[in-house]
Amino acid sequence: MIPRTLFSPDHEAFRDTVRRFIAEHVVPHHADWERAGQVPRQLWLEAGRLGLLCCNVPEAYGGMGGDFLHSTILVEEMARVGATGPTFYLHSDIIAPYLVDFGSEEQKRKWLPKMASGEVVAALGMSEPSGGSDVQAMRTQALRDGDDYVINGQKVFITNGHSADLLLLACKTDPKARAKGVSLIIVETDRPGFTRGRKLEKIGCKAQDTSELFFSDLRVPATNVLGAEGSGFAQLMTQLAQERLIQAIRGISSAEAALQWTLEYVAGRKMFGQTLGDFQNTRFKLAELHAELLAQRVFVDRCIELHLQGRFDPVDAAAAKLVATELQGRVMDQCLQFFGGWGYMWEYPIARAFADARMGRVGGGAVEVMKQIIGNSLLPKARREA
């Protein structure tokens, strides 16, 4: 294997802490959480106690003042054991950065320490029944009424939606405008007018609580707007590269784990007087997957380096998410095939990983949207060179 050079000894010590946490608090209970459709609040509190939430948040606001590599380690180690239930990455690395970068001092001090401790669980309200990728066309409205905004509308596919105490809600504050009409508003879920719908039953990632959310004349003070009114779309665009990089990290890490499970299985599976791993087809197929994963791992690690340097752009993020999640799907499909009928049984990790992987090609922007982003960046260059 090509050695990885991203992580310092301090990062690897943090990885040891994460692995112990997962082994003790996640792996033994994950199957129960899948049946319940939700992880318990106690898990968030325990993660907060160990400093595993909001790793990148400055110490002044309750975080550990770490860097994106700490977040990377959490994502990788959860993926290594197939633990899709604890959505710490969404809470810590997608929602918290909006507050850090755009929140007022009052908003930061009110919410970030509680998010870091696990007392408050956060969710991001973007997708709607009419569509998810076209953020500018959303229909949920927050209209100004004196010192308040009155919110009406509906969101769907909201991860952490059933357990969230805090929503970062994308709304139209100017229904006539597109991008410039979008604002991000902090919504406390104990306010009158907020209703949680059912927990949605998914084909994978079953331990994640994913819900419909409804807003009926819900009032929040105007001070709950994140940054300036109408700046929500621009704010969302600044964070998408990191979100898509996280999807790429999850994709490659889970695929590496699936390949390892498969290697162990075929080495011991007896068939026709030899092991399944002795067949040339098995060796060739697994060799191909290993080589592809090795190349993809080097690419993703380079993307992480660029992100740490502030040089990772949205087009590269789209490319990373596209190829990592597509490869993830191919690896899961081929690895499951080697398990035969057992691979179709939910008790086997490869079966759950196969179902969970399908979300990667949709979450954080569908692969078709990634292709559109990449294509738009290439075509102007092609015209100039023609």
From the list 233, 194, 213, the residue with the least C-alpha distance to 98 is 233
Is the separation of the CB atoms in 195 and 181 below 8 Å? no
Residue 385: pLDDT over 60: no
Confidence band of 1 (pLDDT split at 50, 70, 90):
confident
Give residue 205's region: left, alpha or beta (phi > 0; psi -120 to 50): left
pLDDT band per the 50, 70, 90 thresholds, residue 386: very low
Confidence at residue 258, expressed as pLDDT on a 0 to 100 scale = 98
Confidence of residue 383 (pLDDT cuts 50, 70, 90): low
Active site residue 243: yes
Q: How confident is the model at residue 364 (pLDDT cuts 50, 70, 90)?
A: confident
21: amino acid identity, one letter = F
| pLDDT at 21 exceeding the cut of 80 | yes
User: How does residue 20 score in pLDDT terms, banded at 50, 70 and 90?
Assistant: very high
Average pLDDT, the chain: 95
177 Rama class: left (phi>0) / alpha (psi -120 to 50) / beta = beta
Lowest average pLDDT, out of 116-120, 163-167, 365-369, goes to 365-369
Q: How far apart are CA 9 and CA 14, in angstroms?
A: 9
Q: What is the mean pLDDT of residues 9-13?
A: 97
pLDDT in tens, 133-170: 677 778 999 999 999 999 999 999 999 999 999 999 99
Q: Averaged over 82-95, what is the pLDDT?
A: 96
Share of the chain above pLDDT 90, in %: 92
Catalytic hit among 229, 243, 256, 264: 243
Q: Find all residues with CB under 8 Å of 102, minimum gap 6, and list them.
A: 184, 226, 227, 231, 235
The whole-angstrom separation of Cα 383 and Cα 386 is: 5
Instruction: With a cut of 70, say whether residue 368 has pLDDT above it.
Output: yes
Q: What is the DSSP letter of 279?
A: S
Q: Is the pLDDT confidence value at 56 over 60?
A: yes
What is the model's pLDDT at position 133?
64
Whether residue 114 contacts residue 234, with contact meaning beta carbons closer than 8 Å, is answered with: no
Locate 309 and state its tokens. Answer: 């340097």
Question: What tens digit of pLDDT does each residue of 172-188 get?
Answer: 999 999 889 999 999 99
Lowest mean pLDDT among 46-55, 79-88, 123-132, 280-289: 123-132
pLDDT at residue number 384: 47
pLDDT score of 132 = 62
The C-alpha angle with vertex 90 and arms to 97 and 323, in degrees rounded to 5, equals 100
Q: Where are the beta strands (DSSP E) in the chain?
A: 122-125, 141-145, 148-159, 166-172, 182-188, 194-199, 210-221, 270-271, 274-275
Give the C-alpha separation, 46 to 38, whole Å. Answer: 16
What type of residue is 6?
L
Instruction: State phi, psi for 194 to the nearest 5 degrees.
Output: -100, 130
Residue 309 sits at the vertex; the CA angle it makes with 303 and 310, to the nearest 5 degrees, is: 90
Decide if pLDDT at 70 tops 90.
yes
